[in-house]
Amino acid sequence: MDITRDIHASGLKVTAARQRILELFHASPQQHLTAEDVYRLLWAEHKDFGMATVYRVLMQFVAVEILVRNQFENSPARFELNTGKHHDHMICTRCGRVEEFVDPDIERRQHAVAQRSGFALVEHTLSLYGQCRHCGSERTTPA
Ligand SMILES: [Zn+2]
Ligand SMILES: [Zn+2]
C-alpha cells in the first residue's frame, strides 16, 4: 500500500491530515471507524486536526471512493476502506463491534427475489443487529 500514491491518484492533494487519516484506516484492526474514532486516534498520538477537519477529510475520501460510508441504525456513520469487494455487516448493539460477512446463498437469494419482481438490482446493504460473541456470552453466563 502506498498512501501518498493512493491520495494522489484520487485527484486530491496530499496533505498531512489526509495522509495520517488514511494511514489510520490501513492500520486499524477495527475496520469501521466513526469520525469520532478517527478524531480520538489522532488525538492520542498528539495529531490534533480538529473534528471539522477529520469529518471533511472523511467525506472527501468518500467522494473519491477511497472510503465507504456506512449508516447503521442508531449510530453515527462508520467509514471503511473501499476494497471494491461487496460484503454485509453484523453490528453489536451493545459494544458497537462491526463484523463483515459474505454468504453466497444470501447473495443468490436476493438476486432471485429481485428478479421475481422484475427489479433490476444494482446494489444492496444488509445489516444484522444483535449481540456479538463477547457481549452475548456475558448475557448467557449462569449466575
Ligand atoms: Zn459486543
Ligand atoms: Zn465493512
Give residue 131's pLDDT. 94
Judged on CB neighbours under 10 Å (0-12, 13-18, 19+), 93 is: middle
Output the CATH code of domain 1-83.
1.10.10.10
Beta bridge partners of 89: 100, 127
How far does the centroid of ligand 1 lie from the alpha carbon of residue 138, in Å?
10
Dihedral (C-alpha) 96, 98, 103, 108: value to the nearest 10 degrees? 80
Give residue 87's pLDDT. 95
- 85-143: CATH class: alpha beta
Residue 143 clears pLDDT 60, i.e. is over it: no
How far does the centroid of ligand 2 lie from the alpha carbon of residue 103, in Å?
14
> pLDDT tens, 47-61?
778 999 999 999 999
Band (139; pLDDT cuts 50, 70, 90): low
Give residue 45's pLDDT. 86
Ligand nearest to the CA of 30: 2
Ligand nearest to the CA of 133: 1
Mean pLDDT of the chain: 91
**Domain ranges across the chain:** 1-83, 85-143
Give residue 31's pLDDT. 87
